[in-house]
Structure 1
Amino acid sequence: MELSMSGYNLVTTNGITQKEQSDVHLRSVDLNLLTVFDAVMQMQNVTRAAQSLGMSQPAVSNAVARLKIMFDDELFFRYGRGIQPTSRARELFGPVRQALQLVHNELPGASFEPKNSDRLFNLSICSPLDIRLTAQIINTVRQAAPYVQLTIKSYLDDNIEHQLRYQETEFVIGYTEFESANFHRLALFNDELVLAVAKDHPRIENSISSEQLFLESHAVVSLDHRGSFSKPYYQSTESIQAIAYESTDMNSVLSVVSQTYFVAIAPRWLVQACNETLNLKPVPLPWENAKRACNLTWHESTDRDKGHQWMKSLLKQFSLSM
């Protein structure tokens, strides 16, 4: 096919621009299939997706077959009693959800009714805040919106910004401060940090100096674990004599500290909660400001989503209860 340039449009010999060809292709696509894709991705099960859409299972299976042709990918494969998305499906999920939500928000009368909604919300609550907040959030949501579903994970990986941007995760509760202006943040409360030590520690009683602190053997939450409250204090390991134990779970750290002469920086509430079950005591840190803000973070693209607004207002309540 012979091509020529006409202004800024690439024109074919039959006089149709590439943009017009793209528009013709888009008009040939059944955009209703995208709602099926979104439901199947959320449910990871064709039967449950059909129920949520008010469709028959064969109709959803047929739609999935058409989606595979549309995107030239298998999209899903069988896994146990459900299905798992391919890497291509995972790439598509965020943009498709965002596009559908944008359209929904602009429809006349678009609203979110918590009492009747069965919407799925995905939250990330970094450890150890998950211990403190998860059950409270689940119970609060259940009381306000009995059919709303929650999926909560406690580990923040390096892909968390992508997950927030494309609503794979809608909120992050943790100590992380995202640098991009596209992420909005609300400080819920401040955690006071202390030094957790065994009650019978031979060198530490009720206080400790900065010099002594960094001479001790430390147990830490993994230094590359995003959202760790202790990360700023361990940015440079040169001042620490030894990191003797490293874990992604704060409970494991405190358990090891209680049975050794290691030390660990931890929230006061967590050390006190472990007093009865573990051989631990909290010791004040030798710094004036030993607090970390717990932040609620979301991406600006969700600000007009009424369901998102409702969940945000619910999560803000925890700034008043801590």
Structure 2
Amino acid sequence: MDIGGFDLNLLKAFDALYAEHHVTRAGLRIGLSQSAMSGALTRLRELFDDELFVRAPSGMQPTPRACDLAVPISDALRLIRGTLRPDEFDPATADQVFTIAMNDYSAFVLLPLLLARLSIEAPHVDVRVRGTFGRDEAVELLDSGEASLAIGFPVEVSARILTRPLLQEDFSCIARPGHPAFADGASVEDFAAASHLLVSPEGDRASLVDRELAKLGLERRVALSLPQFLVAPFVIAETDLVATVASRVARRFAASGLGIAVHQPPIGLPRWTLAMLWHRRADTHAPTRWMQNLIAEVAASA
């Protein structure tokens, strides 16, 4: 079939006829008179070389050829409507894939909650995660369009990268139960004297803890540096190492049954913000806005 000059309104007419089984009601459904609807049916019959709908006591009944066409035409119309009306987004029927750049912390804290919500509210929506190790890499993924959202540490708001805070986080220390660095009467000097595990995606050998200890004239030994924190609880449970990690992560580790105790750091450490970032070109994209709001709701309950 040559579709050059094809009138898409004929597909609307077909869809209405299939749904109503009646020429007049089908016309009312899409705003056409009975004569215009009859003309559309005549053109459809010529186009597909088939009667398509035949009169019967129960109304205009579809032929086998019409039944074959019904679902593909309905799907095509739904796709066209969704494309032409981008502000409309129905998560219950959406079947798209969202690519989100996430660091280990955001994936650990948010993904289980996010997927639980999606399974109920948007069962056909899939998520693809791109791992990131820093702000610059997240921005590159947004700039290139490889990710529609990024979650991690905030970057400075710019003309093209927008940001939204998701949650505030503290630090906690984890160690095996009974570790002397956290015994009654233990001092910040005892904490500094312990051997430490440092989680550093960038591979640094120093962190905020080291800077705060330096202000007190102290330094610690980092016996093990890791690029991700997921192996940390297993190491901590079997050694005398101490780790300072995000509090939500520490609480999850303590509930794992590995035998890990959570302690307040003996030095002052500032709170930090987990943020969501996106490119300005996606600021008015309805599906992206929906996912932003869902992630924000999930973060508020994390």
Q: Normalising by the residue count of structure 1, what TM-score does the alignment of the two structures yield?
A: 0.58
**How far 1:223 sits from its partner (Å)?**
5.2
State how far apart, in whole Å, the 1-side matches of 2:185 and 2:297 are. 35
The residue number in structure 1 matching 2:259 is 279
**How far 1:173 sits from its partner (Å)?**
2.2
Which moves more between the two structures, 286-295 or 296-305?
Answer: 286-295
| Candidates 172, 180, 201, aligned match of 2:150 | 172
State how far apart, in whole Å, the 1-side matches of 2:300 and 2:201 are. 31
- 1:232–1:259 CA distance, 2 compared to 1 (3 A): same
State how far apart, in whole Å, the 1-side matches of 2:124 and 2:161 are. 28
Q: Which amino acid aligns with 1:132?
A: V
Q: Is the 8 A contact 1:246 1:253 kept in 2?
A: no
Query: 2:96 aligned with 1:133, yes or no?
Result: no
The residue number in structure 2 matching 1:116 is 93
- 1:120–1:231 CA distance, 2 compared to 1 (3 A): farther
- 1:144–1:203 CA distance, 2 compared to 1 (3 A): closer
Structure 1 unaligned blocks of 5 or more: 1-103
Q: Is the 8 A contact 1:223 1:234 kept in 2?
A: no
**How far 1:319 sits from its partner (Å)?**
3.6
Q: Which amino acid aligns with 2:257?
A: T
Q: Which amino acid aligns with 1:194?
A: S
Query: 2:150 aligned with 1:189, yes or no?
Result: no
| Candidates 218, 224, 247, aligned match of 1:268 | 247
Q: Deviations over 1:176-235 (max 9, x none)?
A: 121352322222222221111111323322575444433322101125169xxx943356
State how far apart, in whole Å, the 2-side matches of 1:293 and 1:271 are. 17
State how far apart, in whole Å, the 2-side matches of 1:297 and 1:231 are. 24
| Candidates 237, 240, 244, aligned match of 2:219 | 240
Q: Which amino acid aligns with 1:123?
A: I
State the structure with more CA Rg.
2
Query: 2:176 aligned with 1:198, yes or no?
Result: yes
| Candidates 220, 231, 234, aligned match of 1:255 | 234
Q: Is the 8 A contact 2:197 2:225 kept in 1?
A: yes
Query: 2:119 aligned with 1:142, yes or no?
Result: yes
Q: Which amino acid aligns with 1:293?
A: T
Q: Which amino acid aligns with 2:279?
A: H
Report the 3-state secondary structure (helix = DSSP H, G, I; strand = E; otherwise coil) of the residue aligned with 2:236.
helix
State how far apart, in whole Å, the 2-side matches of 1:292 and 1:208 are. 27
State how far apart, in whole Å, the 2-side matches of 1:208 and 1:301 are. 53
Report the 3-state secondary structure (helix = DSSP H, G, I; strand = E; otherwise coil) of the residue aligned with 1:313.
helix
State how far apart, in whole Å, the 2-side matches of 1:288 and 1:219 are. 19
| Candidates 268, 286, 289, aligned match of 1:309 | 289
Q: Deviations over 1:115-138 (max 9, x none)?
A: 222221011332233222212111
- Aligned length in residues: 213
Q: Which amino acid aligns with 2:246?
A: P
CA-based RMSD: 3.0
Report the 3-state secondary structure (helix = DSSP H, G, I; strand = E; otherwise coil) of the residue aligned with 1:121.
strand
